[in-house]
A = this chain, B = another copy of it.
Amino acid sequence: MTTGIERVEEFVGAWNVLDMEKVLGMMTDDIVYHNIPMPVLNGIEAVRGMLGKMKAEQADWTIHAIAERDNVVLTERTDRFLINGKWASVRVMGTFELTPEGKIKAWRDYFDLQEWVSQIS
């Protein structure tokens, strides 16, 4: 039996090799993905569209803390991305709500938008 923690670790692993088909495949079709300071994305096609616009050449996410209860996994992370040859990072916490089968049906990331924007603009 795969735990929720293991599923989210696998999801982060997919990010870290930028395997976007695997990332998308681990979400439900009706995924609700919300970078809290930004507009919510509803559904897998909205997420696919956003990922298609991503300019990251590499990703390197580190999980500092992770815990789960009742199919909900909470994480504390630093997410780094190589964009236009320069590494940018954001300190973030995220909640992942999983189905009983281990698919991600909701993902909410909390971070300071200015911390991110100041590095990539």
Mark A residues whose CB is within 8 Å of B. 5, 36-37, 64-69, 72-76, 91-95, 108, 110-115
Contact among B37, B74, B75, B115 for A115, CB-based, below 8 A: B37
Closest Cβ neighbor of A4 among chain B residues: B67
The 24 sampled A-B contact pairs (Cβ below 8 Å) are: A36-B91, A36-B111, A37-B112, A65-B69, A65-B72, A65-B95, A67-B68, A67-B72, A67-B73, A74-B74, A74-B76, A76-B95, A76-B108, A76-B110, A91-B110, A93-B94, A93-B110, A110-B110, A110-B111, A110-B112, A111-B112, A112-B112, A112-B113, A112-B114
Closest Cβ neighbor of A73 among chain B residues: B67
